[in-house]
Structure formats: structure tokens, C-alpha cells
């Protein structure tokens, strides 16, 4: 079977994918649904999210949600656990911004820096805390596990480039909370993992000219191409299948270490 279409067996499991209407989240939503999960897609983009849920059909629903709004995320978690216990939560929601600490225009805009931190870091934690709160009441499986929460960081958490101070800080925060959150939840049987993708073929890069996209891919040691969203979904599937993966951030980057610019 082609490695990009292999599915994880999550038959009968309820899963929530936040930021699931496009890119890495969409690929993850498709993978979990293909594996038999009952899927809740949560996203700000109601049109894309509803369209994806309609395309997937049975066992898929869409809930509009802003990761910064506790009540909206609570509603998404409630929808995801309505028919059965919520067992898998994946957060792919996030935004990017490029601005130097000090540029010709002056110091970095503080409001923009704050907003990136809010959406990427606080939004991710909002999803994590509310999904985990639902999972701790689940019946444990044979290994004592009650649920899995997967966050999305970035290699910018480690190799932030010029102009990525806000983005890198937000993603570094996600990396930093992974282990203590896993330790917090260990006695409750809930695992916490983070994936730090490198350069992936997502809608963000799709706006670039083909030459630029090819050049970016050529700079990756191996494989020398942009990552495929399905490969992110593959890793989510592998994490779901391996209960010893806990409290760790996995770089998914083809051995790429980002240069300063």
C-alpha cells in the first residue's frame, strides 16, 4: 500500500481536529476518518469546514470555532464527544507573521506580536486543556490510556529565521509546554505530543511561485522536496498507535536546519 494513503485503525474512535478545514489539519481529518473515526472538524473557515465534512459524509461533522474563545472550543469538544468518548484531539490552528524586532519602520508591532502568541500558543493550550478535561473521565483502555492530544509547533521553535521572532516565540511555547502537560496528565492516562513540521506544501506556501517552492524544497537535505500534508497525518497516526510516545516534540523536517534567512 502506498505510504501516503495508508490509514491508521481508529475504528469507532471519536476524534477532534481543530484547524481541520485545510492544510495539515485537513490531511489529518481525512486520515482519521479513513481509519474509521467519527470526526469533528473545527475551524474558523465555515465554508471550507462544512464542505469537507459534507465530502467525507457519514461520521463527519463541522463546528465553527475560534481557538481563543473558550465557549466555542468547549462546544467543539462537546460535539466531538456526543456519540462516544473523545479519544483523539489534534490542534493544527495557527497563524504566521514576518517582522523584525526592529526594522526601518521602527520596533516590532506589540499588538501583532501579542496576537500571534494568543492564537498559536494560548489557542493551542485552550484546545489542549478542554480536550484533556473531557478525556480524563473516559474509560481507560487495556494500557490505561484515556486519550491523546497532539499539538502543532514548527521547526521555527528551534531555528527561527530573521523576521520570525513572534512566530518562533509562539511555537517555542508549544514545545515548552509539551512535557509538563504530559506529566500533569500522566496519572489520568492522557498523552500529550507535539509535531514540529518543517517546510510543508500547505496553502501558505501555495501562494508562492513554482520556482520559489521548488527552491525551498531543494534546500531540504532528504527528501529534497516540500513535505506533504499526508506525511504529517502519517505521523499523527503513528503517535496514536504507539502508547510509549508521550511528552515529546518530534521534528518532521527531512533533516532541515533553517538558516538565518
Question: Tell me, what's the pLDDT at 1?
Answer: 35
261 domain-assigned: no
CA-CA distance, 166 to 243, in Å (whole number)? 33
Q: Phi first, then psi: what are they for 16, rounded to 5°?
A: -120, 130
For residue 158, which of 23, 239, 24, 250 has the smallest C-alpha distance? 250
Residues of the chain predicted below pLDDT 50:
1-7
pLDDT at 98: 93
3 lies in some domain = no
pLDDT of residue 208: 75
- Is 158 noted as a catalytic residue in this protein? no
Residue 7 belongs to a domain: no
* Model pLDDT, residue 236: 97
Give residue 197's domain range: 14-252
Q: Are 163 and 111 in contact (CB under 8 A)?
A: no
Instruction: Please state the domain count of the chain.
Output: 1
Q: What is the pLDDT of residue 4?
A: 43
Catalytic residue among 167, 172, 182, 230: 167
Check which CATH number belongs to the domain holding 39 and give it.
Answer: 3.40.50.720
Q: Is residue 8 one of the residues assigned to a domain?
A: no
Within a domain: 70: yes
Q: What are the E-state strand segments in the chain?
A: 14-18, 38-43, 60-64, 86-91, 102-103, 106-107, 147-152, 190-197, 249-252
Task: For residue 257, tell me if it sits in a domain.
Answer: no
Amino acid at each position: 500500500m502506498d505510504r501516503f494513503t495508508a490509514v491508521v485503525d481508529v475504528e469507532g474512535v471519536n476524534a477532534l481536529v481543530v484547524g481541520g478545514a485545510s492544510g495539515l489539519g485537513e490531511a489529518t481529518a481525512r486520515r482519521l476518518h479513513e481509519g474509521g473515526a467519527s470526526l469533528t472538524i473545527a475551524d474558523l473557515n465555515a465554508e471550507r469546514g462544512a464542505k469537507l465534512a459534507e465530502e467525507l459524509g457519514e461520521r463527519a461533522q463541522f463546528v465553527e470555532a475560534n481557538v481563543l474563545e473558550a465557549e466555542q472550543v468547549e462546544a467543539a469538544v462537546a460535539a466531538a464527544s456526543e456519540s462516544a468518548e473523545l479519544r483523539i484531539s489534534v490542534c493544527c490552528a495557527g497563524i504566521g507573521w514576518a517582522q523584525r524586532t526592529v526594522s526601518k519602520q521602527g520596533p516590532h508591532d506589540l499588538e501583532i506580536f501579542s496576537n500571534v502568541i494568543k492564537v498559536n500558543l494560548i489557542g493551542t493550550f485552550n484546545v489542549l486543556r478542554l480536550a484533556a478535561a473531557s478525556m480524563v473521565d473516559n474509560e481507560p483502555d487495556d494500557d490505561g490510556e484515556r486519550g491523546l492530544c497532539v499539538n502543532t509547533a514548527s521547526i521555527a521553535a528551534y531555528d527561527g529565521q530573521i523576521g520570525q521572532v513572534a512566530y518562533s516565540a509562539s511555537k517555542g511555547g508549544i514545545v515548552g509546554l509539551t512535557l509538563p502537560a504530559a506529566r500533569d496528565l500522566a496519572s489520568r492516562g492522557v498523552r500529550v505530543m507535539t509535531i514540529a513540521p518543517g517546510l510543508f506544501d500547505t496553502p501558505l506556501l501555495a501562494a508562492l511561485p513554482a520556482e520559489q517552492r521548488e527552491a525551498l524544497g531543494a534546500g531540504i537535505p532528504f527528501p529534497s522536496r516540500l513535505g506533504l500534508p499526508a506525511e504529517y497525518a502519517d505521523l499523527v497516526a503513528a503517535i496514536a498507535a504507539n502508547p510509549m510516545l508521550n511528552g515529546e516534540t518530534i521534528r518532521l523536517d527531512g533533516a532541515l536546519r533553517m538558516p538565518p534567512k
